[in-house]
């Protein structure tokens, strides 16, 4: 079936699902395949639950597992490759939408920035944006296909852990403008090096340059500025000696971030109190301000959107328990974000500081070096107590003489070992930072703190 024909079916049934457990009445089921599953086997089940059609690429699997498939033959749409078809349909739908599309990627902060940009733009427009972190080769097409005809703007988050992935996603989403939050050492197993990260993120700039798009860029980031080539841009900066179209200045972290900002586009100047506890979020907020100004959102509305935004999903959250105050940033971690979290924790006003840090995963051959760098930074810090969790931290601290004689530090091979020690239950009146890769599971400590 040609994409144009499939698109006509989609217009009559504009809800798409890839989960046979979630089949809204009249939707279209795309039978995706993975290493451990084959959606073709569940196509009939999806139809029985309410889907109007099932897009499959192996009809024999459908008939093998359900004799009734022959009866419902008209509801099956057989294609060469279901994933390719899903992506092609998403791009075709995108091409029918003559509205601004903001593409966002970066090593750290892309989800927070996406949420902030969408919140700011929603003050003036009907905005559709990526839900959660649906930012990969499946999530981006599903996000595009959920955009309704009355939408006035779209904000699309794009993630990657291998070279070429941002190019592929940008070729589907076709952003009209975009930004890279930053580039750092993450997913090095897939990228191979920091240069691999930079080149992959730069694919967003290349896509925008080819189609006359607009870039929002942190003027104080030399790696991003160097990656620009023949593209329209608007700049922002939180660095005092770097002048940009939008400038911001951190006022304090007590523990929430307070800052002021001004723009070359107007005489407006504002001081804001926020619900963020990480100073590293200032650049994310300035990015959202810059995008909002570009699209004509009133300064007062921008300020209101940012000051009232409350972060969620274990990203820079402040949580007060009966015994302690927690800074929960345990969704993900890499060398760049870990260093930023430590710097911010030192800067933050407060007493009895305890950092509970988990391993940074997916660093490949660079893992030992990067964990050693974090340990050296911690040894230089003024944080009163540090608990490290994970095999990588264990390895790099085992033979560090300075570390073993510093009684501020305790190391556990796993989260279970930490919990078995029962030391967390005794913590009282502490300001605690929880930071680590999601796979370490530090968020599970919250009920014990």
Check residue 415 and give its pLDDT: 94
CA–CA distance, 75 with 72 (Å, rounded to integer): 6
The structural domain count of the chain equals 3
Asked whether residue 348 is assigned to any structural domain, the reply reads yes
Whether residue 167 is found in the same domain as residue 232: yes
pLDDT > 90: what percent of the chain?
71
Cis, bond preceding 28 (omega within 30 deg of 0)? no
The residues, any chain, with a CB within 8 Å of residue 74's CB and separated by 6 or more, are none
229 has a pLDDT exceeding 90: no
91, part of any domain: no
Task: Identify the residue whose tokens are 């975009």.
Answer: 178
Q: How much is the mean pLDDT over the chain?
A: 91
pLDDT of 315 above 90: no
Spatial separation of the C-alpha atoms in residues 228 and 204, rounded to whole Å: 10
How far CA 61 is from CA of 55, 64, 72, 303, 366, in Å, comes to 13, 5, 14, 54, 43
278 pLDDT band, cuts 50/70/90, is: confident
Q: How does residue 62 score in pLDDT terms, banded at 50, 70 and 90?
A: confident
My answer on whether 108 and 256 are in the same domain is yes
Residues 64, 43 within the same domain:
yes
Per-residue pLDDT at 70 exceeds 60? no
pLDDT confidence tier of residue 176, bands split at 50, 70 and 90: very high
pLDDT tens digit string along 48-57?
A: 999 999 999 9
Residue 377 has pLDDT above 80, yes or no: yes
- Over residues 106-126, the pLDDT tens digits come to 988 899 999 999 999 999 999
Task: Provide the pLDDT confidence category of residue 427 given band limits of 50, 70 and 90.
Answer: very high
Predicted confidence at residue 399, as pLDDT, reads: 65
- pLDDT tens by residue, 73-101: 889 999 999 999 999 999 999 999 999 99
pLDDT at 61: 80
pLDDT on residue 71: 61
The H or E element spanning position 250 is strand 246-253
pLDDT at 147 over 80: yes
Residue 40 exposure: Cα atoms within 13 Å on the Cβ side: 20
Residues 227-231: contacts with CB under 8 Å, at least 24 apart:
227/180, 227/198, 227/201, 227/202, 229/205, 231/205
Q: What is the band of 156 on the pLDDT scale with cuts at 50, 70, 90?
A: very high
**278 vs 233, more confident:** 233
pLDDT higher than threshold 80 for residue 10: yes
Residues 104, 236 share a domain? yes
pLDDT at residue number 68: 66
Please, are residues 63 and 38 in contact by the beta-carbon 8 Å criterion?
Answer: no
Residue 299 lies in a domain: yes
Q: State the pLDDT at residue 35.
A: 85
Domain boundary, last residue among 251, 283, 308: 308
Say yes or no: 134 and 212 in one domain. yes
Determine the pLDDT at residue 261: 97
What is the pLDDT averaged over residues 130-151? 94
**Average pLDDT of the residues in 330-347:** 89
Phi-psi region of 422 (alpha: psi -120 to 50; beta: other; left: phi over 0): left
For residues 382-395, one letter each, b for 16 or more C-beta atoms within 10 angstroms of the residue's C-beta and e for the rest, the string is ebebbbbbbebbbb
* Cβ-count burial 407-425 (b if 16+ within 10 Å, e if not): ebbebbbbbeebeeeeebe
Shared-domain flag, residues 283 and 264:
yes
Q: Phi and psi of 413, rounded to 5°? A: -70, -25
pLDDT on residue 388: 95
**Model confidence at 355: pLDDT above 90:** yes
Same domain assignment for residues 424 and 362: yes
The partner residues of 319 in beta bridges, in order of sequence, read: 326
Host domain of residue 365: 317-448
Is residue 222 located within the same domain as residue 304? yes
Instruction: Examine the pLDDT at 406 and tell me if it is beyond 80.
Output: no
**Six token digits for residue 56:** 């499959």
| CA-angle at 232, arms to 229 and 237, nearest 5° | 90
């Amino acid at each position: 079936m040609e994409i144009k024909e499939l698109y006509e079916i989609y217009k009559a049934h504009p809800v798409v699902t890839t989960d046979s457990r979630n089949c809204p009445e009249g939707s279209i089921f795309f039978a995706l395949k993975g290493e451990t599953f084959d959606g073709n086997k569940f196509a009939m089940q999806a139809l029985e639950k309410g889907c109007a059609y099932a897009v499959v690429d192996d009809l024999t699997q459908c008939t093998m597992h359900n004799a009734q498939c022959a009866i419902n033959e008209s509801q099956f749409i057989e294609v060469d490759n279901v994933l390719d078809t899903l992506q092609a349909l998403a791009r075709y739908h995108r091409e029918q939408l003559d509205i601004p599309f903001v593409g966002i990627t970066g090593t750290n902060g892309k989800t927070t920035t996406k949420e902030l940009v969408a919140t700011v733009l929603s003050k003036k427009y009907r905005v559709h944006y990526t839900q959660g972190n649906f930012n990969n080769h499946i999530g981006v097409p599903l996000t595009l296909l959920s955009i309704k005809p009355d939408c006035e703007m779209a904000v699309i988050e794009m993630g990657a852990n291998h070279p070429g992935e941002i190019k592929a996603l940008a070729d589907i989403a076709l952003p009209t403008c975009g930004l890279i939050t930053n580039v750092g050492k993450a997913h090095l197993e897939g990228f191979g090096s920091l240069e691999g990260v930079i080149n992959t993120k730069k694919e967003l700039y290349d896509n925008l340059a080819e189609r006359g798009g607009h870039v929002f860029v942190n003027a104080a980031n030399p790696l991003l500025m160097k990656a620009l080539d023949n593209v329209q841009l608007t700049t922002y900066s939180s660095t005092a000696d770097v002048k940009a179209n939008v400038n911001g200045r951190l006022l304090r972290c007590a523990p929430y971030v307070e800052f002021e900002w001004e723009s070359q586009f107007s005489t407006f100047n504002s001081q804001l109190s926020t619900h963020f506890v990480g100073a590293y979020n200032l650049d994310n907020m300035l990015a959202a301000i810059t995008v909002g100004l570009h699209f004509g959102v009133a300064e007062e509305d921008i300020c209101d959107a940012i000051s009232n935004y409350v972060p969620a999903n274990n990203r820079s959250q402040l949580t007060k328990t009966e015994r302690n105050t927690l800074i929960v940033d345990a969704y993900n971690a890499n060398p760049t974000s870990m260093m930023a979290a430590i710097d911010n924790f030192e800067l933050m006003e407060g007493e009895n500081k305890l950092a509970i840090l988990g391993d940074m995963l997916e660093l490949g051959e660079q893992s030992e070096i990067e964990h050693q760098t974090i340990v050296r930074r911690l040894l230089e810090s003024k944080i009163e107590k540090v608990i490290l969790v994970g095999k990588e931290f264990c390895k790099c601290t085992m033979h560090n003489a300075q570390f073993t004689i510093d009684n501020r530090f305790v190391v556990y091979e796993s989260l279970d070992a930490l919990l078995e020690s029962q030391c967390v239950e005794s913590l009282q009146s502490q300001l605690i930072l929880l930071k680590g890769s999601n796979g370490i599971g530090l968020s599970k400590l919250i009920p014990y703190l």
